[in-house]
Chain A
Amino acid sequence: MNTEVSILSNPIILIAKKEIMDCIRNFWIITITAIFVLLTLIESYFGSVFSTGWHDFGATISFMMLSVEWIVPILAFMLGYAAIIGEIERGSMSALLSMPINRVEIVFGKFLGLGGVLSLSILLGFGFAGAIIGIMIPNANYGEYLSFILSTVLYGLVYLSVAIFFSTLFKKRATALGGAIFLWFFFNMILPLVLLGIAVAGKALPDIINGNVPDWYYVLQLINPTSVYSALVSLNVGLELMETVGEYPTFYTTELLVTVLIIWITVFLILTFWRFRRKDI
């Protein structure tokens, strides 16, 4: 038997393939792609308050960073929150588990498939919009734009792994959705406030406002995936129009930030498996 066939008949690949096919059938991929295309084009053309017309990639990214920061987690949650609990609630998990498969393979298959859907939508959506912008402006810096797309993929995968973990945490799909919404608020609203609170307590607030952010505050911000993503994009894309709060410290390297995001993904996948392994169906 040749190896090509045996890889395609691996249960992880089969589950991933099914998730991707589902998201093609229910127009998920095409919808998310369209959202990203529209967002990018609108921000690039209308994003500046000073001038309309096409802007280069650096400016476009800085216009749309805030929107991307909250839209990507929402899409990841919508994709992943029902991954495990949905099948349990529907009843199809019994049959799936009766196949020659391990539970860890189900978790990986789901992550690979849904991660594929999210990555594909990000690549297609931003890629298509990028191609249009590239035609409209001279001397486009594709390298910068590509690093933005790849950072966004990684950022999306972090929230996807969190969402899949949540889908093993609750007994009902509705509670998992509630939990995911709470988590989104937590990372995007509560955690930044908590970090700010710590800054106030550490008497660092005046420094931060003046642009002299102490190093320990940067270390603290590594626990917020959104800050890490934002820093990763800022480091690799010339965001001349973005209001940056001072320079990032020298230990904020691309390698460190990428590693932090990968650790997030790994930790939540392990937690997912740990929860799912014990679950009675």
Chain B
Amino acid sequence: MKYEGREILSEYAIKVEGLSKTYGSVKAIQDVTFTVKNGEIFGFLGPNGAGKTTTIKSMLGLIHPDNGNILINGYDAIKHGKKAKEYVGYLPEKVAFYDNLTAYQNLCFYADMKQVPREICKPLLREFGLADAINKKVGGFSKGMKQRLGMARAVLGNPSILILDEPSHGLDPRGAALIRKKILQMRDEGTTVFVSSHILGEVQAICDRVAIINKGIIVVEDSIENLGSKLRLKPRLIIELETEATNFVETVREIAGVEKVIAHGKILEIVCNPEAKAEVVLKIGGMGEKIINIITEEPSLEDVFLKYTEE
């Protein structure tokens, strides 16, 4: 068969260099550069309108960038787009189908295009929770159903690289969980996943590395842990006490390495260096207070994101 499935031909799954695109006088993206390694889940983050979709559309030849190079599995996506696209499954930001055709007919059309046997279409529809809608026209589908069908289309033929533009958009929590599970499963089977989002929670749960784009410019590209430590983001210590937490604010604030102390009711929230955590607990215990519970929160991607995209 012509379709080669998960064939890895290059050190990097995706390599984007110096990509720029201007619409009229608006610079949509400027000098966008990043690399996605084989077999990783790469998060592409940014607020709405930051240039995520422009970058993704350039990777698929939907728009023509003014400058820059894109390599997909080693193939030049601009000059040899047809070849590069053989390795890609894509979920667009705005998922659309042929409304006059059923879910099954739609999926079969794309399966033919990808030269994938039609037999996989029905099992795939069932896997994405569309068993009851196989023979229904897509015109009557809800946003969530279209998104599930879009995901089924993207994974047709187990592509080497999955490019997903806001995959949980319009999905209920169950649908979002289903897609998250599928992404992880495909990664485990060797697929590289490039996923864009403005919702940090979903990305933090699954991504190995991320790039953050803001106003058309890549502001950082790294693993989530590295991002946290680079920014010296500190863990958060949440301590539940038996009495009012306000009584302890002064004492805790004086401990070296403590950055911030907030009290709400019987909860004390402390931002501090990891080394200061034990000292905080000891000090409170030393004051004769009973500690009911301690929770430590690692720095979240949200903190990183806000730090990088703030004015």
Residues of A within 8 A of B (CB): 1, 9, 11, 14, 18, 22, 25-26, 90-102, 278, 280-281
Contact = CB atoms under 8 A, between A and B. Distances in A.
17 contacts: A1-B1, A14-B109, A18-B109, A26-B100, A90-B99, A91-B94, A94-B96, A95-B97, A95-B110, A97-B62, A99-B113, A100-B82, A100-B114, A278-B64, A280-B57, A280-B64, A281-B57
B115 A95 contact: no
Interface in B66-117: 81-83, 85-86, 88, 90, 92, 94-100, 109-110, 112-115
A97 B100 contact: no
B83 A95 contact: no
B219 to A, nearest CB: 25
A136 B173 CA distance: 70
Contacts of A96: 113
A110 to B, nearest CB: 14
B144 interface: no
A95 B92 contact: yes
B81 A102 contact: yes
Contact of A280 (B63, B92, B98, B109): B63
B61 interface: yes
B134 interface: no
A156 B311 CA distance: 59
Given A26-B100, A102-B82, A9 B92 contact: no
B236 interface: no
Interface of B: 1-2, 57, 60-64, 81-83, 85-86, 88, 90, 92, 94-100, 109-110, 112-115, 150, 153
Which residue, of A14, A94, A280, has the highest number of chain B Cβ atoms within 10 A? A94
B85 A9 contact: no
Contacts of B95: 91, 95
Contact of A11 (B64, B92, B96, B113): B113
A280 B88 CA distance: 20
A1 B64 CA distance: 36
Contact of B62 (A22, A26, A94, A278): A94
A94 B92 contact: yes
6 pairs of A and B residues whose beta carbons are closest in the complex: A91-B96, A98-B90, A280-B63, A99-B113, A94-B92, A281-B62
B97 to A, nearest CB: 6
A25 B99 CA distance: 13
Contacts of B150: 95
